[in-house]
A = this chain, B = another copy of it.
Amino acid sequence: MMNGAQYKESLRKIHPTIYYMGEKIECVVDHPMTKPHVNSAAMTYEMACDPKFENLMTGISHLTGKRVNRFTHIQWSTDDLVNKVKMMRMIAQQTGTCFQRCVGLDAMNATYITTYNMDKKYGTDFHQRFKAWMTQVQENDWMVAGAMTDVKGDRSLKPSHQADPDLFTHIVERREDGVVIRGAKAHMTGMANSHWMLILPTTNLLPGDEDYAVACAVPVDDEHITHVFGRQTNDQRRLQGDLDTGNAEYAIVGGETLTVLDNVFVPWERVFMDGQIDFAQDYVARFAAYHRQNYGGCKVGNSDVLIGATSMIAKMNGTNKAGHIKEKLIEMMHLAETMYCCSLACSYEGVKEECGSYYVNTLLANEVKLNCTRNMYEISRLAHEVAGGFIATLPHEWDTNSEITGPYVKKFFAGNAKYDALDRIKIARLLENMSGGTALAESMHGAGSPQAMRIMIYREENLPAKEAMACRLANVDLSKYED
């Protein structure tokens, strides 16, 4: 296992093509825009090497029998599933933001199950290939970006019906030694500072879509890959100093990229699906369920920080004794813990798959995320309410630091005299940046948009069984109405 420093060193050795503001990012470890995201991901390495977190941060690989970072671990028990959630809350309490590495973890676990199931039906050898690659991932403690979400074009059309066939990633050529793929993956969390990406399909597929049924592992710095680093709310602040970013060390969300795959060659040993359209939906649903599970971990950890910031700002404002402030803090905690409960429940209710690994309860995993798409907005709204309007009008940090205006700023942004005005500004900036644009949108759409959860909930619930319960109690003979 690598520690944080080793992880950063390893990133210096690869040279992905990443653009931001019209220029190439030479090194993600040093570039001010990517640096905090690297720091956040590094936390997943650093804490894993700390013996006191061993239980939550690591697992014993069933492939090698060695202790591995939990982010490269195939879930091998319900304890693994539960510990994943607890680990995520714990790390998020440290970083106050996304640490990115779960996407690859979830993609690997979904692929583990799906390759097994495909092989069983079709006699292919995807599972063996995948295990071989997974072993390398564990041995090298690679960070793997889960690359599912295609850019998708017209949402009402299937992949093969799009005006441009590249709007979903697809195989454009099958060679003796491998395949060539083309397309683009959007919102690629942690991609810029990963070693590998694990590509998987993004939607259920129908006959005619066979070329879109592709899963494979590709190095992030493949020469035919271009990453465009996405901008975030207030991203320019981190180019100008630390104060106004609120969380200078780790920033917000995950640092997403648009990752363009422009005729990328993948050798067969790293191809894990090739044309099995009947497995696409299940593959996607599994990845999504594993990934939705997480949101009651990391978002709750982030909420812990935001609740703490809100409580601090109330003290600094002199309002912390007011009953209605306390009620709002309780409401924030309530909303956060509800998400946590859903994550725990879907983990504990996980089941062993035929391949031996453990999979979360699909229905309950979708509950996690659907709650998240509302609760995080409400938590943020309450944070705003308690904080006060100055989070929206605070001066630029250069004005706070200026000899001319700085004294005014520090004099007039004083709250409760016990606290330094500058500390009050710091907490306000943390709160502002955690509760704003990108962070909210990520709560909404990360791991899938709410309608995707609703569809899954409808599919997973047994509505006819419920109808039968009602009819029995109401003394209605349902058999009359059966076709």
Is A364 a contact of B384 with CB atoms below 8 Å?
Answer: no
Chain A residues 405-453 with CB under 8 Å of chain B are: 405, 408-409, 411-420, 423, 426-427, 429-432, 435-438, 440-442, 444-446, 449-451
For chain A, the count of residues having a C-beta within 8 Å of the partner chain is 159
New A-B pairs, 4, CB < 8 Å, besides A233-B436, A333-B461, A348-B348: A234-B236, A341-B367, A389-B446, A392-B438
Return the CB mask of A282-320 against B: 1 if under 8 Å, else 0. 000000000000000000000011111101100001110
Given A153-B415, A396-B22, residue A326 in contact with residue B469 (CB < 8 A)? no
A389:B444 contact, CB within 8 angstroms = yes
Complex: how many Å from CA A458 to CA B329?
8
Residues of B with C-beta under 8 A to A348: 82, 344-345, 348
Question: What is the CA–CA distance of A441 and B394 in the complex, to the nearest angstrom?
Answer: 12
Q: Interface SS of chain A: helix, strand, loop or mixed?
A: helix
> 5 closest Cβ contacts across the A-B interface?
A323-B323, A389-B445, A308-B466, A436-B437, A236-B236
With A and B bound together, what is the CA distance between A473 and B246 in angstroms? 8
Contact between A187 and B345 (Cβ–Cβ < 8 Å)? no
In the complex, how many angstroms separate the beta carbon of A434 from the nearest chain B beta carbon?
9
Pairs A–B under 8 Å by Cβ, sample size 9? A22-B401, A164-B411, A234-B236, A308-B470, A309-B467, A322-B451, A348-B348, A380-B440, A388-B445
A350 to chain B, nearest CB (A): 11
For A230, A253, A305, A341, the residue with the greatest tally of chain B CB atoms inside 10 Å of its CB is A341
Once the chains bind, are A384 and B164 in contact (CB under 8 Å)?
Answer: no
Count of this chain's copies in the oligomeric assembly:
4
B233:A437 contact, CB within 8 angstroms: yes
Per-residue interface assignment for chain A, residues 167 to 210, with 1 indicating a CB less than 8 Å from any chain B CB and 0 otherwise: 10000000000000000101100000000000000000000000
Given contacts A22-B402, A96-B473, A341-B346, contact A395 B449 (CB under 8 A): no
Question: Which residue from chain B places its CB closest to the CB of A450 in the assembled complex?
Answer: B385
A120 beta carbon closer than 8 Å to chain B: no
Within the complex, the shortest CB–CB distance from A239 to chain B, in Å, comes to 8
Chain B positions within 8 Å of A389 at CB level = 149, 186-187, 441-442, 444-446, 449
| Residue contact B449 to A388, C-beta cutoff 8 Å | yes
Our pick among B96, B258, B378, B392 for the contact of A445 (Cβ within 8 Å) is B392
